[in-house]
Amino acid sequence: MTAGDRGIARTGWRIRPAGLPHPRPKPKELAIPLPTPTAPDRPATAEPAPGRSLQSLRGWLAWGVFVGLHVGCLLVFAVPATGAALGLFAALYVTRSLVLAGGFHRYFSHRAFKTSRWFQFALGWVGTTAVQGSPLWWASNHRLHHRHSDTAADPHSPVARSAWWAHIGWVLSQEHRGVDWDRVRDLARYPELRWLERWEAVPPVLLAGLCYLAGGWPGVVWGFVASTVLAYHATFSVNVVCHLFGTRRYATPDHSRNNLVMAVAAFGEGWHNNHHHYPSAARAGFRWWEVDATYYALRALSWVGLVWDLRQPTPRALAANLAAGHAARQQTSPRNAS
Ligand SMILES: [Zn+2]
Ligand SMILES: [Zn+2]
């Protein structure tokens, strides 16, 4: 990290997962000064910098918050599971999981649809309450995952490293704490998103306070802590399971797989081989039976005008680069027989 970065490219409580759309978009000319970009495809924290000790301190603080939330889950045995607490748990788990999948992943990381500036910020704010870092940090690492999937440069590959590393090791390490500003220049042009990166603690702290007002300590423990930790592991499991177990419809250059169980559990994100084949699509389920709750939610938002221009894979793309077995079935299916 350079001296110019250190005031902004900070660390935080971040966790997580995976890509660059194909091809990588050219950053536009920006009217605002941006932090000096880090070298492409290098962990932002890999560079020596003055003030590194402060950054290291913040990294360890993030580590402490992550571990603390897990330990805090044990409090579910100490507080009553009231109706309000369980309602908050369900509502906040589902809402934040959908925003992580539809907002942090498909919108901020892959620009799979368009929206207004205020709704973009709303997606960023709600996603940041999940304590998985800011949209800038999340997209920075996820684009790196797609660019170098299942190679040594992939931040969380269970193939290149291990399942433990891909699930939680990379989160606990300090290797990927910073934002690579060059990789997210399209997002960093918005000052409010840079504000979220700098003050990523604010949304989750406010949400925890609202949970207290709505349900007391059971509301905090169930509604905020337990649902946050469950969302962590749903997200992390996609990184692991969907690069190890499942089927491969497309012969992508990585080990990505489609996994029905993960698709149901992670709101459509389990159609991961589809997603690696066509990352910029708003949907990961390409067939009618490939359930994709995130896409259904995006469609619903489009009906009321909150999002639009949901990108779809073209028929040509859907039929391209099929894996051997799928290509053979395609050729012998009645529809394709002459
Ligand atoms: Zn992706
Ligand atoms: Zn992946």
- How many Å lie between the centroid of ligand 2 and the Cα of residue 198? 27
Could you tell me which of 293, 290, 280 has the C-alpha nearest to residue 249? 290
How much is the pLDDT for 30? 37
How much is the pLDDT for 327? 66
- Helix, coil or strand: residue 195: helix
Of the listed ligands, the closest to the CA of 166 is 2
- How many Å lie between the centroid of ligand 1 and the Cα of residue 244? 16
Of the listed ligands, the closest to the CA of 19 is 1
How far apart (Å, rounded) are the C-alpha atoms in residues 211 and 214?
5
- How many Å lie between the centroid of ligand 2 and the Cα of residue 160? 12
Could you tell me which of 186, 42, 38 has the C-alpha nearest to residue 108? 186
How far apart (Å, rounded) are the C-alpha atoms in residues 215 and 192?
30
Of the listed ligands, the closest to the CA of 259 is 2
Sign for the CA dihedral angle at 49, 54, 60, 66 comes to: negative
Residue ranges in the chain whose pLDDT is less than 70: 1-55, 327-338
Of the listed ligands, the closest to the CA of 141 is 1
How much is the pLDDT for 54? 64
- How many Å lie between the centroid of ligand 2 and the Cα of residue 212? 36
Query: Considering the entire predicted model, what is its pTM?
Result: 0.82
How much is the pLDDT for 332? 57
- How many Å lie between the centroid of ligand 1 and the Cα of residue 160? 18
Of the listed ligands, the closest to the CA of 145 is 2
How much is the pLDDT for 3? 36
How much is the pLDDT for 23? 40
How far apart (Å, rounded) are the C-alpha atoms in residues 228 and 208?
11
Of the listed ligands, the closest to the CA of 258 is 2
How much is the pLDDT for 266? 96
